[in-house]
Amino acid sequence: MSRRLVYVVGPSGAGKDSVLAWLRHHLPPSPTVHWARRTITRPARAGDEVHEAVDPPQFLALRERGAFALAWQANGLHYGVRASELAPIEHGGWVLVNGSRAHLDPTRSRFPGLTVVHVTASPDTLRQRLLGRGRESAAEVEARIQRTQTLQLPHALQVQNDGALEDAGHQLLNHLQTLPGWPE
């Protein structure tokens, strides 16, 4: 059953959110596919993913009460996926989670056999995208790119997002359609 948890990861600049948005728009509606809504300590903004926005004390209180099946910190924010968001798995459904590379090992421990999707891009593409954002210095961007080179995910479904978003989206959709039991 854990393989029905599709945990999508990727480095900053790889376009993971864009690929997931493409998939969400192009995936035929199915009652057996659920998109897990994350709880994040970030205000909701137009154009961002739809999430439950909470402040840090609220997040910590939810975590203390055991509300989250998954919880992690990244880039100064807290992220969580409520246990209720994974409930469709218990009924034969599929759940897609916008996850974290840093939290992959604990997630694998809790859900052995989960399906991992790794959205990535070449170092040159990552560099161009990250520098284009203007949030980090050139040295910080290079350090971030070096960290991406050390991560090995040999059993993950690989999505290379160096070209057109549609190409990467089709890669992801094609991978999902090869999974046993994925809805047609």
Residue 99 has a CB neighbour count (10 Å cut-off) of 25
User: Which residues are annotated as part of the binding site?
Assistant: 10-17
Within a domain: residue 183? no
State the chain's mean pLDDT as an integer.
92
| DSSP secondary structure letter of residue 51 | -
User: Which residues are annotated as part of the binding site for ATP?
Assistant: 10-17
The range of the structural domain enclosing residue 54 comes to 2-177
Sheet with 52-53, strands from edge to edge, namely: 52-53, 38-40, 77-82, 68-74
The tens digit of pLDDT for each residue in 134-180 reads: 888 999 999 889 888 777 787 899 999 999 999 999 999 999 999 99
Q: Going residue by residue through the chain (184 aa), what tens digit of pLDDT does each one get?
A: 578 999 999 998 999 999 999 999 999 888 999 999 999 998 887 777 789 999 999 999 999 999 999 999 987 899 999 999 999 999 999 999 999 998 999 999 999 999 999 999 999 999 999 999 888 899 999 988 988 877 778 789 999 999 999 999 999 999 999 999 999 7
Domain tally for the chain?
1
Within a domain: residue 39? yes
Within a domain: residue 182? no
Within a domain: residue 55? yes
Cβ-Cβ contacts under 8 Å for 179 (sequence gap 6 or more):
3, 115
- CATH number of domain containing 121: 3.40.50.300
Residue of 114, 109, 97 lying closest to 20 (CA atoms) = 97
Beta bridge partners of 73: 78
| Residue 87 to residues 48, 63, 106, 123, Cα–Cα distance (Å) | 24, 18, 19, 37
Within a domain: residue 105? yes
